[in-house]
Amino acid sequence: RCMPVEGFFDLRIKCDDDLLPEVRTELLTQAFADERASRIKKLNLSHNGLITPPVLTHLTHLRKLDIDHNCLNQPPLLTGLRHLRVLYLNCNHLVMPPLLNGLDYLESLDLSYNELAVPPVLTELSRLRVLKLSYNHFEQPPVLAGLVNLRWLDLSHGQLTRSPVLADLRELKSIDLSH
């Protein structure tokens, strides 16, 4: 079974270890299809051994989504999550980044410790303040133009062949390009 660990608006779910990953995903998808689930504002699915993400498109009021430390090989579909402010997908096995269009309120994005071959498209994320892309495999840096509120950027321990263009990043306080 997958059991809620916290309150309904701030939900942490931990699935039994003996459930197959496919069963976990299916149970979560069914639970999130319930119309009451649309009221969830914070969802933590970290450390659940998920291989494929559950369908989250019904969670229209979601502000924080944490699916870190799983085994995801594909990102979740984020369509309809227009209120999302925080997205943690770090420590998975993602090869391709999630599609971020329509996430106008996103302020913090963590895709570190994945296997991304290309950086995410960030052009519509003008409110983004924190961007963590360390420990990935892409060689070209992400396009940062338009990220006028970006304050913290981590591209460390990657395979970049050149530095990112930082010209428009007037709010940038911290950048890590090490290793």
SS3 of 28, please? Answer: helix
Q: Cα(79)–Cα(96) distance, rounded to whole angstroms?
A: 16
pLDDT at 139: 96
Distance from C-alpha of 19 to C-alpha of 45, rounded to nearest angstrom: 15
pLDDT at 35: 80
| Span 150-179, average pLDDT | 95
Q: What is the pLDDT averaged over residues 160-178?
A: 94
Instruction: Look up residue 134 and give its two tokens.
Output: 């360390």
Per-residue pLDDT at 9: 67
What is the mean predicted confidence (pLDDT) over 95-101? 96
The pair of structure tokens assigned to 112 is 């570190």
- Residue 31's pLDDT is what? 84
Q: Rounded mean pLDDT of the chain?
A: 91
Instruction: Give me the pLDDT at residue 45, please.
Output: 94
**Least confident residue range of 4-8, 40-44, 54-58, 63-67:** 4-8
CB 13, CB 3: distance < 8 Å: yes
Confirm if 178 and 155 have CB atoms less than 8 A apart: no
Reported confidence tier of residue 3, pLDDT bands at 50, 70, 90: low
**Residue 50 above 70 pLDDT?**
yes
Q: Reduced to 3 DSSP states, what percent helix, strand and coil does the chain have, rounded to the nearest 5?
A: 10, 15, 75
Among 13-27, 46-60, 105-119, the minimum mean pLDDT is found in: 13-27
* Token digits of residue 32: 């999130």
Is 11:40 a contact under the CB 8 Å cutoff? yes
d(CA 32, CA 59): 7
CA angle, residues 55, 53, 15, in degrees to nearest 5:
100
- Mean pLDDT for 93-105 is 96
